[in-house]
Structures are given as C-alpha cells and as structure tokens.
Copies of this chain bind each other. A is one copy, B any other.
Amino acid sequence: MPRRPTLEFWYEFASTYSYLSAMRIEALAEAADVELRWRPFLLGPIFAAQGWTNSPFNLYPAKGRNMWRDLDREAARFGLPPVTRPNPFPQNSLSAVRVATYGADQDWLVPFSKAVFETSFAKGSSIAEPAAVGRILDSLGLDGTQILKAAASEANKSRLKVAGEEARSRGIYGAPSFLTGDGELFWGNDRLEQALAWAAGDRPDGLR
C-alpha cells in the first residue's frame, strides 16, 4: 500500500497568518488525503539573522496596519471569530513553542497548538507567561506543571534549537511555511491549498 503523502506545517504561535493556517489546515488536508506533520518553531532567531529585532508588521507600520485589516477580512472569509490583537504584539512565544516542541510526538500537540492560537487571536488572552501556557495545558486535561518543567529541560531546548536550524537550512524565512516530501517550500497561509495539492501530486504543467 503506498504511503499517504505528507506535508510539514511549520508554524509560530506569534504569527498571525500561522493562526489562520492552524485553524483550517486539518479539514483541507483531510480533503486532499495528505498527512500533516506539525512543526512548531521560533521565528525570532530567523528574523534576527535577517536584521529584524521586531515583527516586520511593527517595523513597517503601513504594512502592519494593512495586515491587521487583512487578518480581519481573512478570518471572516474563513468563518473564524473576529480577531483579537494580542497585546503586546508579537507575543513572546518561547514558553508555548517549547511545550509544542516537547509534545512533538504526543497526540495533544495539535489540540494544544490550536488552543494556544485561539487564546491569542480569538480570546485576546496572553500566551507569553509560562503560567498562561500551563493553564492551556490544564484546560486540555493535561498536567501543565509537569509538562512545563519537562519543556524547560536542556534536552528540549536543544531540540527547539535544532528545529530552528533545520528550518533555516531548508529555506524557511517566515511563518507559516509548508514543506512537501520532495522539498518544495510554500510560504504563507495564501499558499496552503497549493502546498497540499503539490504534496498530493497535483502540480502545474511544466513544473517538477
């Protein structure tokens, strides 16, 4: 039996368009018969390597203003609740990304990740403090205290660092990003459908 094609979904909890992808990728992947691999990572070090010490949406105010308006429009188009703007933006996602990295092979990775995004962009609550992340874990019936402690271990920190190096070495420069089994990179929520189609073998004529 042939293996189902796979798509890697690289996401960052501070990223507005990662939120849109996280909320809609499961249904789309199921329809395309593509298996997902959720890959949390930190955008901060990648932005820092590009010389950015803040979100480009803050560094370039006109771009930021339009992004928030676009996010409102896109959320409405996808049937998501009205967007709340995390304050401050971007949220410090270190604690949540550490937990997601620790949970990479756990069946709670996806519900946890979606709950973090919803807390930030639909409920307007902070995800920055470990306590906030712990409450999200608790709300999923998990042991927040234990998981936060494990996520703060040196071994897990290393794992997160390695994921960041992998992202950079595979050409990722923003989030969300999608990588197919044959290494095709798609950037941005706007490319989610095309990434899934590519993973499923549906490619534009003349392109390999």
Q: How large is the interface on A (under 10, 10 to 19, 20 to 34, 35 or more residues)?
A: 20 to 34
A74-101 interface code vs B (CB 8 A; 1 in, 0 out): 0011000010000000000000000000
Stretch at the interface among A8-16, A23-31, A185-193: A185-193
Residues of B within 8 A of A159 (CB): none
* Interface presence of A65 (CB below 8 A): yes
Which residues of the partner chain B approach A174 to less than 8 Å between Cβ atoms? 63
Q: How far is the CB of A47 from chain B (nearest CB, A)?
A: 10
Interface assignment of A194: CB less than 8 Å from any CB of chain B = yes
Given contacts A70-B187, A191-B70, contact A62 B207 (CB under 8 A): no
* Nearest B residue to A207, CB-CB: B76
- Contact mask for chain A residues 140-169; partner B; CB cutoff 8 A; 1 contact, 0 none: 000000000000000000000000000010
With an 8 A cutoff between CB atoms, is A2 at the interface? no
Copies of this protein in the assembly total 2
Are B207 and A66 in contact, with the CB atoms below 8 A? no
Given contacts A172-B62, A173-B63, contact A77 B194 (CB under 8 A): yes
**Which B residues are CB-close (under 8 A) to A70?**
186-187, 191
- Establish whether residues B172 and A206, one from each chain, have CB atoms under 8 Å apart when the complex forms: no
Q: Which residue of B lies closest to A60 (CB)?
A: B50
- 12 inter-chain pairs at a CB distance below 8 angstroms, sorted by A residue, are A60-B173, A62-B168, A62-B173, A63-B174, A63-B187, A66-B173, A70-B186, A73-B194, A73-B207, A76-B205, A76-B207, A190-B190
A residues whose Cβ falls under 8 Å from a Cβ of B: 50, 60, 62-63, 65-66, 69-70, 72-73, 76-77, 82, 168, 171-174, 185-188, 190-191, 194, 204-207
